[in-house]
Structure 1
Amino acid sequence: MSKYLLNKFLYTVDRDPELVERYRDDPAGTVAHWEAEYAGRLLNCVAGEATTWLALDDTERAALVAHDYPALFALGAHPFLTLTLFIAMFERDHAEPLGFQLEYARRLAHVTLPYPDIAT
């Protein structure tokens, strides 16, 4: 398991409006595309620099494909990264103000301190 790679997925997808929409509409295809095209790219480095040793495991991949943010949180994904990406994807589906944020809080209400470790 690589919390770094899991958080990198959330971070990079959230910063690209086309990837956000693609992930909303085709999560399995987006995760596969991201792993092939983005996973090896190093953040904040010279273009062309890459790594080949990082990979999502089956549990991480399944949680990403299912848009299962409680599972992602349990796996150690940073809560700010999950919240901002999923707001971008699903806030429009809620009529009331802060609708998705309230849904996010409801679905994570069972989590108690100490929270899962989010260090990478």
Structure 2
Amino acid sequence: MSRYLVDKFLYTIDRDPGLVERYREDPGGTVEWWEREQAGRILNCPVDEATTWLAFTDEERAALAAHDHVALFGLGAHPFLTLTLWIAMFERDFPEPLGMQRDYAARLSHLGLPYPDIST
């Protein structure tokens, strides 16, 4: 597993409003495109580099494609990265103030200490 690659995905998608919308509307396609076209370029790797840390695991790919922040947290994705991206993608779907943030926290409320390791 490459927590760094997952975190890099979340970070780069969140920094581009067009990619935020693309990921919101077509999560599986966006994950596939980013992994194929962007992962090596963003990480400044040679074109023919093909190590496992340049690819998501099946579990990471599935969690990213499902917008599953609970699974991503369990895999070690940094919660601040998922939270900021989820705000950009989903806050508009909640009419009440902080509704998305409350939903995000409620879905993680079953977790207790020690939390998964989020270091990269």
Please give the TM-score of this superposition, normalised by the length of structure 1. 0.92
- The answer for the alignment partner of 1:10 in structure 2 is 10
In 1, Cα distance between equivalents of 2:39 and 2:99: 32
Pairwise CA RMSD: 1.0
Q: Which residue of 2 aligns with 1:102?
A: 102
Shift of 1:42: 3.8
Residues 41-66 of structure 1, C-alpha deviations (whole Å, 9 max, x = no match): 245xxxxx325321101000000000
Q: Select the residue among 38, 45, 48 that pairs with 1:50.
A: 45
Q: Which runs of 5+ in 2 are unaligned?
A: none
* CA distance in structure 2 between the partners assigned to 1:70 and 1:114 by the alignment: 15
Find the counterpart in structure 2 of residue 34 from structure 1. Answer: 34
Question: Residue 113 of structure 2: SS of its match in structure 1?
Answer: coil
Tell me what 2:73 maps to.
73
Aligned residue type for 2:41:
R
> Which has the larger share of helix?
2
Q: Does 1:60 align with 2:55?
A: no
Runs of 4+ with deviation above 6 angstroms: none
Q: Which moved more, 1:75-84 or 1:30-39?
A: 30-39
**Which residue in 1 is equivalent to 2:87?**
87
Letter in 2 for 1:50: C
Q: 1: distance between equivalents of 2:5 and 2:24?
A: 19
Q: State, as a whole percentage, how many aligned pairs show the same letter.
A: 70
Q: Deviation of residue 77 (structure 1)?
A: 0.2
Shift of 1:107: 0.2
Q: Which amino acid aligns with 2:115?
A: Y
Query: Matched residue pairs, number?
Result: 115
5+ long unaligned stretches in structure 1: 44-48
Structure 2 distance, partners of 1:81, 1:41, is 20
Evaluate the alpha carbon distance shift between residue 22 and residue 103 of structure 1 in structure 2; reply closer, same or farther with a 3 A threshold. same
